[in-house]
Chain A
């Protein structure tokens, strides 16, 4: 909770920076703030208690802290990565504030216990993202991305709100624990519109985590947005949306799982198939990563489904989020540096293994991790998902996941092949800031470390 307050404070501070002229100090301040938030988070964790705030609107239990930890870690790396991006843009301060507020929304989503906080969190997170997606003002595609994201996002928010209203109408409460109690007491005589509400919320949440068939916005928005903003979408925003998804459906609607698990199974199956096969056909790396993020979303949704009846391994989803976020930060960071010339296709990576062997190796590790090859973090992430799902009724999904994973290897390898096999077109060395290099090294090492010793993370998050 204190972490959330610190980040909100930082957001306000960032807006003041223009007036009081401490723009240069802003980045160090933000980084210190994130570290402080993380540290305070950690102390709340070791207390082992769950804290309720604001009349039970927000509750920071260990799951919330774990997810906010992942979000803060990725945000920390992201800010270092993004420092020169901010310098290029004119409205430095606005962007800082927007990202920080998006972060506030993300942290709220990990900890909501009331559907109003859920809605507020989603909006606080999304509205800055709409603006950031369009932040390359002179670029048509960036404008298009922002506009598309706004329209589609508002549409989903409307669904969410409608769903909340219907559920409130039936249960008389916004509190997810109250709703759970209501379901338990009235399981026989719930009105039809309660179920409609659940399904509408499911649709809205699937939209937010960009699962098929609600994924159409993702590739366009990723492609149009500045690369680093796409990185933010695929890490922080996604993790937060998952945390919210998990809380809402595993806490609030667990008792009516028969309504939504069937739909969710179809969503997962569709996402796996559509995302992996479409990704294989992309020529733009950014679009490929967008589809890859859809397929990873499907994997995480599978864990949520598997956990409905047996609350066995939520650590799977936490580990997955972490592994995926770190891998994405590496790959987007490298993509950002490699595509500064404007070419965002696979050809931009041609000969990178020779042009810059360091980036080549880091990108290889990131791709192998996203593809799920040992000994990277992605492998254990996949392994945890498989072990979670195998004991459930969804073995057919598992087989589908295996097949589509093999397809997935195709497009990740395409980058590796481009780096080591294709002749380089661009002879110039890749210009890269030292800070970017540091982030890429750190995330690569982290990918390998938690891939070799997954116990470090997995044992920490046993609930």
Chain B
């Protein structure tokens, strides 16, 4: 019931927000997303104390004749993702307080709709339902980017939409193929467990085809080299909040999808093609890191760094061992928080100075020391310094990939070094040194902006120092997944 509430509440809130006017929309959206966060905490509490609780499941028939159920459940895997979503959405809404959007009721309404779809993706226990939420998540973000995006948004959002739709349709074909092979007492079924069984009953060749049909959708969403070409432009052109949704949460749909909807379905396919997919991920890491190093635009740099990070996550998942997947889960949480922080900082820089070109900036630390400290913490989190949240995940990930192959791990490990190069260097150019342009000023931060950054930094440090609670859940969830696969 709680799970259904987690989906239904943002939907209702979104409908309300669509009909409010002015600043009311923004406050209402913030309040709704905070309530949603509290609901998800209640779900977490339930999950910790009583994982089998009926409160965490909800199942009703959607289309009888097709065996489609509206079946949702919170397990260890989904509670992490749901928490990430419900934690980030209020923050993202808060970041928009120093900015006014035209037709803001639509903006916030779409954002809440997006939240509904994202939570739906993470808790769906029915293949069809998963697909529907997966596609639904695309529509609000498409309109957010199209209506409030940057200059060239028409062509860019279009590329983004068609690219992801293309992948999704292949996944739909793959899922239908699986569904046709399910057999529960002579009936077909969309339930996740039945789909797992159906997948395993296929031979290695069929599983290989299925692997690519489904993987391509996830690979585009993450994105993995060579399916990444939509990503940098879209991230740069989307409004900041849209970029945050895309990189902070939506990207995780892809990695989450691989863990839950790919690995347990096609173990043989993974054996056959996993190496290729890991190879692509690692190429992506090195490639994106190198491009990030030469970027001049800070927002674009973060976009490329995101490709590098997700490449490592995907390699860890596809290595398919305890450390790899557990590390991926931890890194997904950390990356979600850090990348939202980074994009927010890029936005603050742009609003205060009017430029994102790093070469024009410099010496901002002398103008606003507090900001410099907060920025530094986020940067350190994203380069995975020990005692920040990024460290646990990255360490486990490289460990996991190493068990798969030492050589690949060596290349994957480059992400740490190259990441430090481009992140620290950009920090240096932007914040330290002399002011390059005396016209550029940087006043004090707005209250809300400061609050968001402080919350993000607090989380970065808190889960860097004491990752145990989340790590325990991740460890348990990984174990469950691995037993399903074996």
Contacts and interface: CB of A to CB of B under 8 A. Distances in A.
A373 to B, nearest CB: 6
Interface in B60-77: 62-66
A373 B139 contact: yes
B63 A455 contact: yes
Nearest to A364: B143
B50 interface: no
B65 A458 contact: yes
A262 interface: no
Interface string A378-410: 010001001100110000001100110111011
B146 A402 contact: no
A458 B66 CA distance: 9
A454 B147 CA distance: 31
B179 interface: yes
B173 interface: yes
A402 B169 contact: yes
A374 interface: yes
A383 B173 contact: no
Interface string B35-57: 00000000000000000000000
Contact of B65 (A375, A403, A420, A462): A462
Nearest to A386: B176
B132 A410 contact: no
Nearest to A455: B63
A452 B257 CA distance: 24
A406 B166 contact: yes
A406 B136 contact: no
A417 B154 contact: yes
A421 interface: yes
A368 interface: yes
Q: Is the interface of A mostly helix, strand, loop or mixed?
A: helix
B63 A454 contact: yes
A459 interface: yes
B356 interface: no
B172 A386 contact: yes
A217 B162 CA distance: 29
A387 B175 CA distance: 10
Interface string B316-331: 0000000000000000
A455 B65 contact: yes
B89 to A, nearest CB: 21
A416 B154 CA distance: 10
A413 interface: yes
B276 interface: no
A387 B139 CA distance: 24
A413 B162 contact: yes
Interface in B275-328: none
Interface string B133-168: 001101100010011000001100110011001100
Interface string A401-435: 01101110110010011001110000000000000
A283 to B, nearest CB: 16
B146 A417 contact: yes
B177 A459 contact: no
Contacts of A387: 66, 176, 179-180
Interface string B228-252: 0000000000000000000000000
Q: Is the interface of B mostly helix, strand, loop or mixed?
A: helix
Given A409-B162, A410-B162, A455-B65, A383 B172 contact: yes
B427 interface: no
Contacts of A406: 162, 165-166, 169
Contacts of B169: 402, 405-406
Nearest to A461: B65
B58 interface: no
Contacts, number: 78
B87 interface: no
Given A373-B135, A390-B180, A413-B161, A420 B172 contact: no
B65 to A, nearest CB: 5
A410 B146 contact: no
Given A402-B173, A417-B146, A455 B154 contact: no
B471 to A, nearest CB: 36
B70 to A, nearest CB: 11
Interface string B96-117: 0000000000000000000000
Contacts of B161: 409, 413
B170 interface: yes
Given A383-B172, A458-B66, A391 B180 contact: yes
Nearest to A353: B147
A417 B172 contact: no
A421 B63 contact: no
A371 to B, nearest CB: 8
Given A375-B136, A402-B173, A406-B169, A458 B63 contact: yes
Contacts of A453: 62-63
A387 B157 CA distance: 30
Interface in A430-463: 453-455, 458-459, 462
Contacts of B179: 387
A280 B138 CA distance: 21
B8 to A, nearest CB: 14
Nearest to B153: A421
A455 B65 CA distance: 7
A90 B147 CA distance: 44
A453 to B, nearest CB: 8
B64 A375 contact: no
Contacts of A373: 135, 138-139, 165
A144 to B, nearest CB: 34
Given A390-B177, A417-B146, A421-B146, A459 B162 contact: no
Contacts of B65: 455, 458-459, 462
B170 A402 contact: yes
Contact of B64 (A398, A399, A459): A459
Given A386-B172, A409-B161, A410-B162, A374 B154 contact: no
B172 to A, nearest CB: 6
Nearest to A416: B146
Contacts of B131: 374
A387 B66 CA distance: 10
A357 to B, nearest CB: 9
Contacts of B147: 420-421
Contacts of A410: 158, 162
Interface in A337-382: 368, 373-375, 379
A439 to B, nearest CB: 24
B239 to A, nearest CB: 14
Most buried by A among B62, B154, B157: B154
A368 B154 contact: no
A120 to B, nearest CB: 36
Nearest to A458: B65
Interface in B423-468: none
Interface in B169-197: 169-170, 172-173, 176-177, 179-180
Interface in B360-401: none
Nearest to A388: B176
B429 to A, nearest CB: 34
B457 to A, nearest CB: 37
Contacts of A421: 146-147, 153-154
Contacts of B64: 455, 459
Interface of B: 62-66, 131-132, 135-136, 138-139, 143, 146-147, 153-154, 157-158, 161-162, 165-166, 169-170, 172-173, 176-177, 179-180
Complex A-B, nearest 9 residue pairs according to Cβ-Cβ distance, in ascending order: A406-B166, A402-B169, A455-B63, A374-B132, A421-B154, A374-B135, A417-B154, A459-B65, A409-B165
Given A387-B66, A387-B176, A420-B146, 5 more contacts: A374-B135, A413-B162, A421-B146, A455-B65, A459-B64
Interface of A: 368, 373-375, 379, 383, 386-387, 390-391, 398-399, 402-403, 405-407, 409-410, 413, 416-417, 420-422, 453-455, 458-459, 462
15 contacts: A375-B132, A386-B173, A391-B180, A405-B165, A405-B169, A406-B169, A409-B165, A413-B158, A413-B161, A417-B154, A417-B158, A421-B146, A421-B153, A422-B154, A458-B63
